[in-house]
Amino acid sequence: MEAVHRASSFPEVEPRLVAISLRDVWSRLTSWMPGGRAHDVSGGTLFSTDSPSSELSGPLIPLPGASLSTIEQARVLVRRQGRELAMDLVEGATELDGVVENEGFDRIDSRIVMTAAADMGAHCDNSRIATEDDLNAAVELQASAFGVNPSAARSLYGPGWLDTPSTHIVIELGSQVVAMATSHPTEHGIGIFGVCTNPGYRSRGHAGSAIRSAIAAVADPTDTRPVWLHCGENLVPAYESMGFESAGRTTIWVEGHV
């Protein structure tokens, strides 16, 4: 078990800032994902991609000020695209809490927002910034770690995946990439996404090394922006052991999902 790093004080993460930062991260993701597009609607942004995975086809991110009109505008757009409307709702960020279920949506997933301070970042042994030569290894790692189809995993790494302010960190043992994490610095926070470890190398601290290195690659210890990620409840203890604290929740809703 790796040592816990706890910052002397955790930056406050308001739900509205998590929603804005989540929108900004999705904007970054769709800038390199195949067919990535962003559609601004009143009170939010709807994202869409050509990923074969429904989870990556793009959600509506409601922002502070969102209303039922936000949902209606997004519905019109997704119907033109021939897909169902998915929504990643940060609880407490909008006035939509408690009314979404009455609008024909089903809750399909819930994630805990975890936060930490930038001073937990540190360059770790065996870590490095990914290069184009790591594309196949990254796809294989994401597919095996998350149990997804390789074609869906490949859709995460379209042209330009290395040409943005985001930084992809890999942990390499010998010549094998065994873990990775991506840091997405935005105005309101540093989002950590794509954290994964080869199933054969778990419980050895590699994910924590990837996260700390990803933070250090985009922020110095005095950076006041909160570092945040979201994860399933079963992973909360693991992230707490790295030095994160729970700070809220996001919920995935899908219209008419069966």
Domain count, the chain: 2
Cα–Cα distance between 117 and 168 in angstroms, integer? 19
Tell me the average pLDDT across 155-161.
83
Say if residue 93 is in the same domain as residue 66.
yes
Say if residue 71 is in the same domain as residue 149.
no
- Residue 74 counted as domain residue: yes
Q: Is 81 exposed, middle or buried (0-12, 13-18, 19+ CB in 10 A)?
A: middle
Band of residue 14 on the pLDDT scale cut at 50, 70, 90: confident
- Residue 256 counted as domain residue: no
Say if residue 197 is in the same domain as residue 75.
no
| Tokens describing residue 3 | 């040592």
Q: What residue numbers bound the domain in which 43 lies? A: 15-112
Say if residue 83 is in the same domain as residue 139.
no
Q: What is the pLDDT of residue 8?
A: 46
Render pLDDT for 193-229 as a digit per residue (tens, 0 to 9): 999 999 999 999 999 999 999 999 999 999 999 999 9
Within a 10 A sphere around the Cβ of 151, how many other Cβ atoms? 12
Indicate the residue among 47, 81, 112 that finishes a domain: 112
Band of residue 185 on the pLDDT scale cut at 50, 70, 90: very high
Residues 208, 248, 210: CA angle, nearest 5 degrees:
15
- Residue 9 counted as domain residue: no
Give 5 or 76, the one with higher predicted confidence: 76
Collapsed DSSP state (helix, strand, coil) of residue 113: strand
Within a 10 A sphere around the Cβ of 68, how many other Cβ atoms? 14
Band of residue 9 on the pLDDT scale cut at 50, 70, 90: low
Q: What is the pLDDT of residue 179?
A: 96
Render pLDDT for 75-121 as a digit per residue (tens, 0 to 9): 999 999 888 999 999 999 999 998 998 888 999 999 999 999 999 99
- Residue 179 counted as domain residue: yes
Contacts of 180 (CB under 8 A, 6+ apart): 130, 138, 141, 142, 168, 169, 170, 171, 194, 195, 196, 210
Place of tokens 């189809």: 149
- Residue 198 counted as domain residue: yes
54 pLDDT above the threshold of 90: no
- Residue 8 counted as domain residue: no
Q: What is the pLDDT of residue 85?
A: 94
Q: What is the pLDDT of residue 2?
A: 46
* Beta-strand pair 227-231/190-197: parallel
Mean per-residue pLDDT over the chain, rounded: 90
H-assigned helices in the chain: 15-32, 68-81, 135-146, 150-154, 206-218, 236-242
Say if residue 130 is in the same domain as residue 206.
yes
Q: What is the pLDDT of residue 10?
A: 56
Q: The domain spanning residue 233 has which CATH number?
A: 3.40.630.30
| Tokens describing residue 207 | 């994910």
Within a 10 A sphere around the Cβ of 136, how many other Cβ atoms? 12
Percent of the chain with pLDDT over 70: 95
Question: Which amino acid belongs to residue 17?
Answer: L
6 pLDDT above the threshold of 80: no
Asked if 185 and 166 touch (Cβ cutoff 8 Å), the reply is yes
Place of tokens 């996001």: 250
